Amino acid sequence: MTMRVVWVVPSMDRNTGTTIMEWVAPILVEAGVAVDILPLFPATCPGAITEVAGAAILDAPIQGRITAKIQMSGILRRAYSRYQRVIVDQNLDTELKAVTAMGAVMGRAPMILISHIPLTEFLAARGEHNIGRLRRLIDGVYPKIDRVVTLSDAATTDLMEYHGVQKARVFKVSLPLPFRQWQSEADSEVPDPFLDSSVPVIAAYGYLETLKGMEVLIHAVRLLYDQGFYVRLLVLGDGPMRQSEETLAKSLGIEALFPGWVQHPGAWLSKARIFVAPQYFDGAGWDLYAAMSVGVPVIATNGPHVSQEILAKGTLGKIVSIGEPGALADAIQKWLSNDRIRSTFALHGKQRARALDRERVKQTWIDALVN
């Protein structure tokens, strides 16, 4: 009998959680698992995921927010009864409801949570006035989750040391990077005239929210201009801060392009001279890997925690102080002036990304989610 799995996400809006789902669900399908994707709410942003290879995307059952919590509990209870595995994206509201619903179903399917951010950092993002209450709530329910799949050492340690999750319930895996796809895209023609210039392109990529820190990079580029270093800024991705970030770049006289979520990111990123990750804290770090896979050297901040793991504390890329445009500008300027340093970091980064190609790590995902 074919195993049936449901992967629950808040919506199909493209972010870290849905990107991981888009990469991993086809691996389960290839292993003979029937996968349904259940977005709880309709997508709200352009560039939402509309297709996941081999999986069925169900209609979003919750159309309004007023009765959302009640509806969510009922939906999750039915999922536990109908499927052999319930996979939940890391979203505080969803995962708490999923744990609460567990107790109402006899002989329920196991719940597996995909944790792509250290939980302590995730709570901190909710604001200091909420941390105490939310921590008590989390500490009461998180140890009940059947398995937590983590993407970093920091997330793994955080769960066990600060939130009481037993070591046997934590399963660390590596991102199944579409390395070969990105590399093949890198050989494509220039996808936009903006990139066809002798002026160096500085790129960034991801879900554009406040914690992404994009305004820090924009101010850093303005500092470069003031010092006589002219670059073009390419920001791939979308999110709630995109419009204000475009407005800020324009107001500062920066030559910038915000094309949203693009179809072939490898083709865009490969035309950049340097990739910058200015985040206040990390998600899964897939944006860094995307740049590294096509041979673009990476500068990141020392925000907790994943970028420091990915860049091996500075041996695979440059790490600068968090939230400081001057530090970013200085690092970019030095790299623009030194082809040898950029080439060295580009080579080492590419080798690191290649080691995480999906074909190399897919069995660990199968073991984590269905075995």
Task: Dump pLDDT digits (tens) for 165-194.
Answer: 899 999 999 999 999 999 999 988 999 999
Cα gap 147→166, rounded to integer Å: 9
Q: Which residue has the higher pLDDT, 54 or 133?
A: 54
Secondary structure (H, E, C), 91-160: CHHHHHHHHHHHCCCCCCCCEEEEECCCHHHHHHCCCHHHHHHHHHHHHHHHHHCCEEEECCHHHHHHHH
Is residue 316 within 8 A of residue 291, CB to CB? The reply is no
All domains of the chain in start order, with CATH: 4-176+357-369 (3.40.50.2000), 179-354 (3.40.50.2000)
Residue type, 229: F
pLDDT at 136 over 70: yes
Distances (CA, A) of 244 to 46, 208, 277: 16, 10, 18
Please name the residues in contact with 154: beta carbons below 8 A apart, sequence gap of 6 or more.
118, 304, 305, 306, 309
pLDDT of residue 125: 67
Task: Dump pLDDT digits (tens) for 216-271.
Answer: 999 999 999 999 999 999 999 999 999 999 999 999 999 999 999 999 999 999 99
- Reported confidence tier of residue 283, pLDDT bands at 50, 70, 90: confident
Task: Say how many C-beta atoms besides its own lie within 10 A of residue 96's C-beta.
Answer: 18
For 209: left if phi > 0, alpha if psi spans -120 to 50, otherwise beta; the answer is beta
Task: Dump pLDDT digits (tens) for 38-49.
Answer: 999 999 888 899
Is residue 249 within 8 A of residue 234, CB to CB? The reply is no
Task: Dump pLDDT digits (tens) for 327-336.
Answer: 999 999 999 9
pLDDT of residue 26: 97
232-236 and 256-260 beta bridge pairing: parallel
Q: Which residue has the higher pLDDT, 122 or 79?
A: 79
Q: Which of 371, 9, 354 is nearest to 175 (CA)?
A: 354
Cα gap 236→204, rounded to integer Å: 6
> Which of 84-98, 136-150, 195-209, 277-291 holds the top average pLDDT?
195-209
Average pLDDT, whole number, for the chain?
A: 91
Please name the residues in contact with 226: beta carbons below 8 A apart, sequence gap of 6 or more.
none
Task: Dump pLDDT digits (tens) for 47-77.
Answer: 899 999 999 999 999 988 777 878 998 999 9
Task: Dump pLDDT digits (tens) for 6-43.
Answer: 999 999 999 889 999 999 999 999 999 999 999 999 99
